[in-house]
Structure 1
C-alpha cells in the first residue's frame, strides 16, 4: 500500500513568505497588499459590519503611522489594499497585528501570511487602482464597479 509523502523537517520555514524590506529602499513605497481569509471562497468579509471593522482597523493603523491609505477593496474572502508605506514600517508586524485584532474582534479566520507587491513606478499606480476597482466586476459580484459598497479611496 502506498504511503503519503512526508514533509521535510524545514517545510514550515520554506512556506513562509519573506516580507523584509530591501535595505536600499529608503523612500516611501506604494504597496499592493492582499490578505486572504480561510477557507477560500467563504464569504466572511462582505458584511457591512465586518467591512466597516476592516476599514476602521486600517484607519487605526494609519493613525499609528503604519501607512498612508490610498485604496482598499473588500471581497468575500480577501482584502486588497494600496498604501504608501514608510521605510520604518515593519509590514509583517503591522499586517499580523491587523489580522490578529480582526480575528479576535470579528472572528475572521485568516490564511497565514499575506502577499505584497511594491509598485516600482508611479505609472503602475493607476493600473493597480483600476485592478482593485474592477475586482468585484471580474468576480461577478457587481455589474458596475461603482455599485460595489466595499471599495474605498482616501
Structure 2
C-alpha cells in the first residue's frame, strides 16, 4: 500500500471534497440536521473555522481553516463521518462492511484535500463550493440551494444575493 507523504503545517486553510459510497444517494441532504449536529459536536472539541461549506445529496465541499498549532483535519473528518453514521437509524445505514472504522459503508473511505495557496486560490475554491449545486443542475441560482454557507456570506456582505445566477453557468452532465 502506498505511503502518502505530504507537508502539513498547522494554521492552514484547506479545501475538501467528501463523498458517499453511493453517488446516487440523497442521504446528506435528507439528514442535514444530523450532519449539522455532527459537525457542531466535532467543532466543540476540535475547533476549526468554516470558511465555506456546501452539502449536496451525495457529497460535500468545504473550506476550513485550522488553528495555528493544529493540522489534524483527518481526525475531524473521521469523527464527523462516524457521528453522522451512528446517528442514522438502522434502516438508513449501509451494510456494515466498514463498521470497524465507524463508516458503516456509507462514506468513501478517503477524501480529497487541497491546501489553499493564496488569496486567488482561496477565492476560486469558495466560489467552487457555492456554484456546485448549479453546476450539478439542482438549482438555477446559487441562492436557491439551502444547504450552503453562501447565505451566511451574503448576510456578511461577502457576496451579492444575485451571485451565481443562471447566466454563463454550464450544468455538469449527470452520472
Q: Provide the TM-score with structure 1 as the length reference.
A: 0.77
Any conservation in 2 of the 1:66–1:94 contact (CA below 8 Å)? no
- Could you say which residue in structure 1 is the equivalent of 2:29? 46
**Once the two structures are superposed, what CA deviation does each residue of 1:102-133 show, in whole Å capped at 9, x if it has no partner?**
11112471111211111011222221111111
Give the superposed CA RMSD. 2.1
- Could you say which residue in structure 2 is the equivalent of 1:55? 36
1:41 CA displacement? 2.2
Q: Which has the higher strand share?
A: 1
**Once the two structures are superposed, what CA deviation does each residue of 1:74-129 show, in whole Å capped at 9, x if it has no partner?**
01111111110234242222211111111111247111121111101122222111
Aligned residue for 1:46, secondary structure, equals helix
- Could you say which residue in structure 2 is the equivalent of 1:127? 124
Structure 1 counterpart of 2:50, from 59, 69, 73: 69
Partners of 1:56 and 1:121 lie apart in 2 by 31
Listed as ranges, the gaps of 5+ residues in structure 2 are 95-105, 153-175
Q: Provide the TM-score with structure 2 as the length reference.
A: 0.69
1:21 CA displacement? 6.0
The alpha-carbon distance between structure 1 residues 113 and 35, as it changes in their structure 2 partners (threshold 3 A), is same
Any conservation in 2 of the 1:33–1:82 contact (CA below 8 Å)? yes
- Could you say which residue in structure 2 is the equivalent of 1:150? 147
Structure 1's consecutive aligned runs of 4 or more residues displaced over 3 angstroms after TM superposition are: none
